[in-house]
Each structure stands twice: as C-alpha cells, then as structure tokens.
Amino acid sequence: MSQHYPALIVIVPLLAAFIISVAGWINKKLCFPIAVAAVTVSTGSSIGLLFRVMNEGVVHYRLGGWLPPWGIAYYVDQLNALVLCVVTVAALLNLIAAKKSIEQEFPERIGPFYTLYVLFVTGMVGITVTGDAFNLYVLLEIASITGYALIAMGDKDRAPLASLNYLYMGTIGACFYLLGVGYLYIATGSLNMVDIARILPDLYQSKAVLGAFIICMVGVWIKMAFFPLHGWLPNAYTFAPSASSSLIAPLMTKVMIYVMIRLILTVFTPKFAFATLAISDSIVWLACIAIVMGAIFALAQRDLKKMLTYIIVAEVGYMVGGAWLGNRAGMTGAILHIMNDALMTLCAFLVVGNIVYKVKGYAFDNLKGLFAKMPFTMGAFVIAALSFIGVPPTCGFFSKWYLISGAIQAGHYGFMVALIFSSLVNVVLFFRIIEIGYYEPFSDHHGHDHPAEPMAEAPLTMLVPLYIVAAGLILVGLYTGNIVNHIIRFVIPGSFV
Amino acid sequence: MGDLIQAIVAKYNYWIYITLMMIGLYAMIAKNNLVKKIVGMNIFQTAIILFYVSTGVKRGGTLPIIEHGHGGHSHVIHAADYINPLPHVLMLTAIVVSVATLGVALALAIRIYNRYNTLEEDEILAQIREE
Amino acid sequence: MKTIGLIIAVLTGALLIYATADFPAWGDPHSPASLHVSPYYIEKTIEETAVPNIVTSVLADYRGYDTMYETTVIFSAGVACFLLLRTFRRKEPEERLYRHVLTGVTIHAKRGKLPPSGDFERIDTAWTPPDLIIKTMCRLLIPFIQLFALYVIAHGHHSPGGGFQGGVMLGASVILLAISQDLRTAVRRLGEKVDALLCAAGVFIYAGTGALCLLLGLNFLDYSALVRVLPCDPIMARSHGIFIVEIGVGIAVMATMIWIYCNVSSSGEYDEGL
C-alpha cells in the first residue's frame, strides 16, 4: 500500500466526507469518529510519504495509469511533502480541539459541518500534492467553496456579508489563476507542470508567457491576501465560528504561498522569474509595505481575533518577500516560515477558541484577568506570542533569522528594517494582551469584581491539542537545523546563491 | 497600418472575450447591489469559458466524435480532422464550478436579505454602523 | 468606487490584450495547443478506450481525476446551501391560502389552518390563478424529459452527452414539477432525506470505483483493473468503467440540482417556494 500514499492522502478524506454526510442523517454521533479516522489516515500517509521522499527523492504517481502529459500525474518532492505534513497535522489537531465548540454552536448541523470540514482538508491536501495546473484549480475551488460556507456559519449578523465579500474576491483570484493557466495552455499546449517547464525556455520572450505569469501571480496574491488585495481577510476570519477560523486561518494563506513558490521554482523556472523579468526588487518592496501596513492595522484593533488577522497579513508579507529575495537564505526562510506560521497561527486561534468557549467574547474587555481564570490556555498563548515576536528557541526566531540574513545578503535593507519593525510591533501587541490578562482583575460586567476567581479552564479535549501545538512550536524550533539540512536544502535549485 | 488591421482582424475573438471579462470585472467591483455583483461574477466566468473554448477551433475540423466509430477499426484517424477536445473537457469543469459558486453566493445573499431586508451594500453597511 | 473599478478593469484589459499579441490566430491548426497533447487523445481513443466521443473519454478516463473533483464541487455546493439555509424551527406560517378544488373559490385564513381534506388544497401565498393547462401539460411532459435524460447519460459514449448533461435534465424535470404545481408536491415525490442520500451516493459511486481499482492492484481510477470484476478485456473494461462513473455523476448532479433549488427557493423552510 505504500506506493499508493500520494493517492491515499487525498482519497480517504474524500470518501469519508460522503460517509459523514450520510451519517449526519442517520446517527449524528458517528460523524466525529469517522472524520478523525479519515484525517488520521491522511496524516499517517503524509508522514510516510515524507520519509519516502527523503529516502528516494521525487515521487511520481500516475492517476488512471496514464503517462503525463496525457493523464494527471502527481509530483511529490520535499517541498510538497513538508507542507502536506503540516497541513494534515494541523487539521487533525484542530478537529479534536473543535469538537466541543462545534457541539456548542450548531448542535443540529453537525453532519454537514463535518462534511464540509473534511472536504476543506481534502481541497488543501489536493492543492499541495498535485502536479497538474488545472487539477490545482479544481481543488482550489473545492477548498474555497467549503471555506465560504464554513465561514458564513459564524456570527449571525456579520458573517454572511463577510463570507460574500470573501466569495467575490476569492472567485476573482481563482479565475485569474484559471486565465493564467489558459494563457500557458495556448502558448505551450500542455497542462502538466513539469511538461510546461520543459517547453517554456524557448518561449521566454513571448508576451503570452509574460501575461500568464502576471495574471497567475495576481490571482494567487488575491487568494493569499497580499496587501493591498487583503480586504477580505480580516472580516472573514474574525466573524467565522472558532472551529472554522482555527482551521482556515493557519492553512489557506500558507498553501497559497506554497502554490506561488511552486510556480516560481518549478513551472516558471527561476531563470524566468528572476533573471528575465527583473521585477523581484519591486515585489520585495511591496512585501515591505505589506508587513508595515499589517503591523499598523493590528495596532489599531480593539479585539483579539481581528488583531491576529492583521498579523496574518504581515506574515504573508514575510513569506512573499523572502521568496522573492532570490537567494538561498531568503527562500529557505520563506519555506520554513510556511511551516512555522501555520503552527503559530493554529496555536493562537486555538487559544481564541478556548477563550470564546468559556467567556463568549474576544474583545480586549473580555480578556481581563484571564491568566487567573484560564492559566493553561494563557500559558500556551504566551508561547505563541514569543514565537510571533521571534524569541529563541521558538520556531519564529529561526525563520526570521533566515529571512533577515537573506535580506542582508541581497542588500535589501528595507526588508530587514520592515522585519525588525514588525517584531517590535508584535512585542507591543502581545504584551498589551498579557498585561490586560494578567494584571487587570476579572470582571463580568455586572459592576462587582470577584475577589478570587475560581479556575474555569477549557475542557481537556481542547487543552491537549493546544499543548501539543505549543510544544511543537518549541520542538520545531530546536530541530530547525535538521529540517533545513534534510528537507529544504534539496528543494532550492543550485542556481540560487 | 494594414499590418495592424490584419493583426486585429485575425484575433478578433480574443478582443471580444476580454471586453466581456472586463465588463464582468467592472460590475463586480463597482456595483452596489449584491445580486448585480453576482451577475457580474457570472459574466466574468462565462467570458473565461468562451475564451478557452475558442482556443480549440481548427479550420476544417469537425466535432470531436470519431466517425465510423463503432464497426470497423480500419479507418486511419487524422488529428487534423477533428477539433481540439481538451478545452471542452476543461470547460465542463469550469461551468460546473461556476454554477456551484453561484448557488453558494445566492444562498449567502438570501441570508443577508433575511437579516437586513435590503440588498444594497451601502444600506447594509449603514445598518451595521448603527448597531 | 466606480472610478477605481473602471481603472482596474481598463488596466487588466490592457494587460490581457497586450498578451494576446503572441497568440495564434483563430482556427489555426498549427497552434501549440492543437499539436502537443490533443492529437494523442484523438488518435488513440478508439484503440485504448473504445469510446468514439473523444470529449467523454478524455473527461472520464484520461482526466477522470479532475471530473471526480468536479462532482465533489457540486456536492459541496449542495451541502453548503443546506448548511447555510435550512432551518428546523417549526415556525408556523401566519396566513395560509386555500382553494376549493371543485369551484375554484379561494379562502384566505388569517390565523390557524383548515384540517386536511380532499375538498381544499393549499396554494402559495403569492396567489396564482388556477392553471389546469400548465399542470396537465407538465405532468405529461415530465416522463419524456426523464426518458430523454436517461438516453443522454447512456449514449454519452457515442453522441454529445454524458453524466453532467443528463443529470441536469433529470434535475430539471423535478424542478419543473415544483414550478408547475408547488414545492410541497415535489418534496412529497422526492423527499429531502432521499435526495441528500442520493447526492452522496452518486459521488461515492465515482470515488468508490476509483478506490476499487486501487484495491484491485492498479493505480487510482485505472479502469483496466476492473477486468477482475467484469468479464471483458481491458479496453472494454475502460469503456464500462467510464459508463459506471457517468451514472454516478448523473445521480449526483440530479440530486444536487434539486437540493439547491429546494433550499434556495424556499429560504430553507421547505414550505412555500416559487
């Protein structure tokens, strides 16, 4: 069965989604175990695939038995395998942690919610593992449609409008990507990524290829919320229910960054993206603006969830800037940051989920005295805060280190200044919350303060995954050297200095 | 000048689809009514579908169904006799995706209408700001 | 907002037009798209899959993986509409309209409801005149529409057609019943639970066929593995595999079209809609 790992990762959640949909009508209690079993099989297969790729190199899988470019083929190298592991592990931990909050918020709609959850995971995993440009579009649409529905189930007043705005921008982004693939098809006649890369070098001067590149990039930037195309993200992630936001926020933008890196490294080889086009400098400046604006908007917010969404906008700027710096350290930092940012964002949003489950609100006023009331949750929050700021040995420090050394090596001091500015602003943001949570006494808005608040921590099914992620933040930081040397080093082509 | 006219006439189909696409894109960005935005989205996606399908045309080609298909296998099949089937296949998928997105968008618009009793975005934002 | 929209549209259009300068002319038989991948499909479809309709063989066999996800997209849209709109609160409608069957007299009940009896039928609040011609004609036409839809699904190998086209027509036949009579009649004929189960079953047939091929030893969706289950040679096994997945697609698309229509037109209440 191990030669079928690339297929199993996507197919088992897909089949499970249909079974969950039927189970939702017959017996609601079956939905959660089936979902956990499916995502666990997917996680096991992706870890197995990672080890296979580390031993053998690139893994190919032909769907339908047809050779590429006539059939759809999977092309799994170290970059895919790493992102696959991150996506499946994050989805599994979030599924376990979100069980109580789903049962609290929509008790009669458990079946459809879990169906869409597992289909979203299928979409994310499918985008990561595929080697065919059009297949990526179809899976992107699966992930997007299920994402719109998952987000719209939140706050009754604001969530449908936020989701509809996300739908408009997301559709424009996906259609731009489709148009770019169409231009590439007209110019080369093929849809397979490796095949396109083989044919393209003769066509670098073609205006159609230049148009295809720009349109694909703009489409992917819209889907990853790169400033100024980020308008949909804050509202969509803030008003979503906690189970959805802690699933979608860590994964959607990071997988889109993976798509961008895949387009730069494999489809339009670095020779085209960096040398022929010579726009990498301006894109790094755009990334600097994204980081600074994300940090400034985050400072202006008065509630925790919206502040975290603007921090996501800034983190996207880190990764886009790092990838477009054009040197080995920058690209290593960007790829490492995909993994680290997914874990950090998952940790932060799981904390918010715990807070919402107990306190029913996430504005700064609701956070007073939480360190006494929910010490374990806020402990994990402190670890996540240290990672966002970039304190060793958490993983955030190491990816920032690679990004800054890449910036210095490329001579792009503006990017380095933006990174340091963002770290300082994160210090202010997170210490402000720690101060509200630790020093202010808890008040429940009735006017009288309780002297010694008894601890009312979130249930264990929500705490254990949270602590696994928080421990992961530190472990991934300590093992950064191994990850870079055994996995990421082989992804970056030799032409990078 | 004759060269430019020649270039424009030879590729007039692409100009038409790009114009349709931009009409749809303008409607999605500039209109206030939520349903008009959804209609603009549909126009945008349909123009992309037309664009892809037009790349499959071959002069002198017929439908992509093999003539004398069932029966003798002795006929030699020339690829130049049939139009390109691959864009049609890709666009079947794109049509289904656009219908699915349209369904979800309409469901969201109904939810918004049931809550705010209006479909104009500026009135909805005004109601939100009052709360 | 309008000027920003205009500027964005003009700039994007200019970029796209600039990129068409290097496109092949319309109908050029020597364009890269016509020369690279598609000649293989045209020349080899009969000898590898025994299906004359090249679009069907590419859709369901060569690129069958994409089509499976396309069916999943439509399934997830159905589930999404259900999740977003369906309300289970028994909110009794305040006013009802009833029509006396024999005389056509309409009664407007402001509060409460009449007990069910054969003399009075309930009509929608958006009052419509009695429409015997429409009801009768649609009742006569619907079986033929469904028969034609089944023909389109089954004949997708030899003529334009296939699972999606036939499935939409099947769905349209039930929606025609809902439009010509009313939503309650259509829901009585094809209940909500059966519809949701059919939707999941249709896509499950597709993915399940692929998984069966994987369990029988070959790659996912490699239909030639079906020779161990079906009594034929590998090429005909591909043709039959395509037919099975087309049936799955047809069922799924029919069920989803009806499901989305019922949810969207009645805002999730399944009481009155169009």
The count of other CB atoms within 10 Å of the CB of residue B43 is 17
pLDDT in tens, A16-56: 999 999 999 998 889 999 999 999 999 999 999 999 999 98
Summarised one tens digit per residue, pLDDT across range A64-122 is 888 888 889 999 999 999 999 999 999 999 999 999 999 888 888 899 999 999 999 99
Share of chain A above pLDDT 70, in %: 97
Least CB-CB distance to C34: which of B12, B21, B84?
B84
Cα–Cα distance between A140 and A260 in angstroms, integer?
13
pLDDT band for position B74 (50/70/90)? low
Distance (Å, whole) CA B54 – CA A187: 14
Residue C31 pLDDT class (50, 70, 90 cuts): confident
Residue type, A226: F
Residue scoring higher pLDDT (C91 or A6): A6
Q: What is the pLDDT at residue C268?
A: 81
Q: How far does B5 lie from chain C, in Å, by closest CA?
A: 13
C-alpha neighbours within 13 Å on the C-beta side of residue C64: 33
Question: For the segment A461-495, what is each residue's pLDDT rounded down to a tens digit?
Answer: 889 999 999 999 999 999 988 888 888 888 888 77
- Number of helices (H), then strands (E), belonging to chain A: the values are 21, 2
Give how far C122 is from chain A: nearest CA, Å.
29
Strand partners, C108: C97
**Residue in A144, A146, A150, A171 to test binding to B, most B beta-carbons within 10 Å:** A171
List of chain C residues whose C-beta atoms are within 8 Å of the C-beta of residue B30: 1-2, 4-6
Where helices occur in A110-158 by DSSP H, the ranges are: 110-129, 133-152
pLDDT band, residue A327 (cuts 50/70/90)? confident
Residue where the block lists tokens 């009288």: A448
Nearest Cα to Cα of residue B101 among A178, C68, A141, C256: A141
Q: pLDDT class for C195, splitting at 50, 70, 90?
A: very high
CB neighbours (10 Å) of residue A115? 30
Do residues C202 and C249 touch, judged by C-beta distance below 8 A? yes
* Residue bearing the bigger pLDDT, A411 or C144: C144
Write the CB contacts of C1 (distance below 8 Å, at least 6 apart in sequence). B29, B30, B32
Q: Which of C63, C200, C221 lies closest to A18 in CB terms?
A: C200
Over the stretch A141-198, which tens digit does the pLDDT of each residue have? 999 999 999 999 987 889 999 999 999 999 999 999 999 999 999 888 889 999 999 9
Q: Write the DSSP assignment of C101-113 as a string of letters.
A: TTT--EEEESSS-
The verdict on a CB contact (< 8 Å) between C219 and A22 is no
Within 27-46 of C, beta carbons closer than 8 Å to B belong to 27-29, 31, 33-34, 37-39, 41-43, 45-46
User: What is the token pair recorded at A36?
Assistant: 């956990």
Residue whose tokens read 């009155």: C272
**pLDDT for the residue numbered B18:** 92
pLDDT of residue A495: 73
Query: Quick one: DSSP state of residue A360?
Result: S
Residues C262, C86: contact at Cβ < 8 Å?
Answer: no
When pLDDT is averaged across residues A314-334 and rounded to a whole number, the result is 91
Across the interface, whether the CB atoms of C66 and A135 are under 8 A apart is answered yes
Residues with Cβ within 8 Å of residue B124, at least 6 apart in sequence: A161, B112, B116, B118
pLDDT at position C121 over 80: no
* Position C45 pLDDT exceeds 90: no
ipTM > 0.90 (yes/no): yes
Give the 3-state secondary structure percentages of chain C, helix then strand then coil, rounded to 5. 65, 5, 30
pLDDT band of residue C90 (cuts 50, 70, 90) is low
Angle at C194 between CA C191 and CA C195, to 5 degrees: 80
Which chains, if any, share at least 3 CB pairs under 8 A with chain C?
A, B
pLDDT at C55: 92
Residue C181's Cβ-side half-sphere holds a number of Cα atoms within 13 Å equal to: 20
Burial of A29 (0-12, 13-18, 19+ CB in 10 A): exposed
Which subunits sit against A, judged by 3+ Cβ pairs under 8 A? B, C
**Contacting residues of B for A169, CB less than 8 Å apart:** none
What kind and span of H or E run contains C121? strand C120-123
Distance, CA of C117 to chain centre: 36
* C-alpha to C-alpha distance for C112 and C92, rounded to whole angstroms: 9
Band the pLDDT of A272: cuts 50, 70, 90: confident
Decide if C196 and A21 are in contact by the 8 Å CB cutoff: yes
Query: What does the block give as tokens for C80?
Result: 């999404």
More confident residue, A196 or B73: A196
pLDDT at A302 over 60: yes
**C162 backbone φψ class: left, alpha, beta (φ>0; ψ -120 to 50):** left
Give the strand order in the sheet containing C96-100. Answer: C106-109, C96-100, C120-123
How many other C-beta atoms can be found within 10 angstroms of the C-beta atom of residue C118? 6
Instruction: List, for residues A192-241, the tens digit of each pLDDT value.
Output: 999 999 998 888 888 889 899 999 999 999 999 998 889 999 999 999 99
Q: Which residues of B touch C43 (CB under 8 A)?
A: 77-79
At B18, the amino acid letter reads I
C84: nearest CA in chain B? Answer: B107
Residues of C in contact with B87 (CB under 8 A): 33
3-state secondary structure of A73: strand
Residue C126 or residue B16, greater confidence: B16
Residues 66-105 of B with CB under 8 A from C: 66, 69-70, 73, 77-80, 82, 84-90, 92-93, 96-97, 99-101, 103-104
Distance CA A8, CA A16 (A): 12
Contact list in B for residue C156 (CB cut-off 8 A) is: none
**Structure tokens of A272?**
């085209």
Query: In the structure encoding, which two tokens stand for residue A483, read together?
Result: 């990850």
- Give the pLDDT confidence score for residue A10 in this predicted structure: 93
Residues 6+ apart with CB under 8 A from A161: A235, B112, B124, B128
Model confidence at A453, in pLDDT bands (50, 70, 90)?
A: low
Q: How many residues does chain A have?
A: 497
C117 pLDDT higher than 80: no
Residue carrying structure tokens 């159905």: C78
CB-based contacts of B91: which residues, under 8 Å, 6+ apart?
B49, B52, B53
pLDDT reported for residue A359 = 85
The minimal CB distance from A164 to the residues B93, B97, B112 is found for: B112
Distance CA C274, CA C268 (A): 13
Amino acid at site A136: L
Interface of C with B in 129-168 (CB under 8 A): 158-160, 164
| Residues with Cβ within 8 Å of residue C157, at least 6 apart in sequence | C51, C52, C53, C56, C239, C242, C243
Is pLDDT above 60 for A385? yes
Question: Is residue A62 within a helix (H) or strand (E), and if so which, with residue range?
Answer: strand A59-62
For chain A, positions 293-322, list CB contacts with chain B under 8 A. Answer: none
Flag if B48 and A179 touch (Cβ within 8 Å). yes
**Closest alpha carbon to B38 in A148, C66, C82:** A148
Q: A319 to chain C, minimum CA–CA distance in Å?
A: 26
Element (H, E) at C99: strand C96-100
CB contacts of C70 in chain A (<8 Å) are: 138
Does C87 contact chain B (CB < 8 Å)?
no
A172 min Cα distance to partner chain B (Å):
8
Query: Does the distance separating the beta carbons of B115 and A168 come in below 8 Å?
Result: no
| Contact between chains at B48 and A182 (C-beta distance less than 8 A) | yes
CB–CB of A138 and C70 under 8 A?
A: yes
**Residue bearing the bigger pLDDT, A327 or C119:** A327
DSSP bridge pairs for C120:
C100
Angstrom distance (rounded) from CA A246 to CA A102:
12
SS (H, E, C) A368-415: CCHHHHCHHHHHHHHHHHHHHHCCCCCHHHHHHHHHHHHHHHHCCHHH
> Residue ranges of the alpha helices (H) in A66-109?
78-97, 99-105
Query: Residue A1's pLDDT is what?
Result: 75
CB contact at 8 A, C99 and C106: yes
Cα A261 to Cα A334: distance, rounded to the nearest angstrom: 9
In chain B, which residues touch A (CB < 8 A)? Answer: 25, 28, 34, 37, 41, 44-45, 48, 51-52, 55, 86-87, 90, 93-94, 97, 100-101, 104-105, 108-109, 111-112, 115, 124, 128, 131
Average pLDDT, chain A: 90
Distance from the Cα of A179 to chain B's closest Cα (Å) equals: 7
Contact B103 C1 (CB under 8 A): no
Report CB contact under 8 Å: B22, C2.
no
Give the alpha-carbon dihedral of C198, C200, C201, C202, to 10 degrees.
90
Please say whether the dihedral angle defined by the alpha carbons of residues A225, C78, A159 and B33, taken in this order, is positive or negative: positive
Give the nearest partner residue to A148 out of B48, B52, B104, using CB atoms: B104
Report residue C33's pLDDT band, with 50, 70 and 90 as the boundaries: confident
Inter-chain CB proximity B97 and C70 less than 8 Å: yes
Q: Of A441 and A318, which is predicted with more confidence?
A: A318
Q: Residue B70 pLDDT more than 60?
A: no
Q: Residue B69: its pLDDT value, please?
A: 52
CB-based contact A484:A399 (threshold 8 Å) = no
Of B18, B58, B104, the CB nearest to C29: B58
Are the beta carbons of C38 and B79 separated by less than 8 Å? yes
Q: What is the pLDDT of residue A443?
A: 58
Paired residues of C240 in beta bridges: none
**Percent of chain A topping pLDDT 90:** 63
* C8 in contact with B, Cβ within 8 Å: yes
Alpha helices in A189-230 (DSSP H): 193-199, 207-224
Mean pLDDT value of segment C33-62: 88
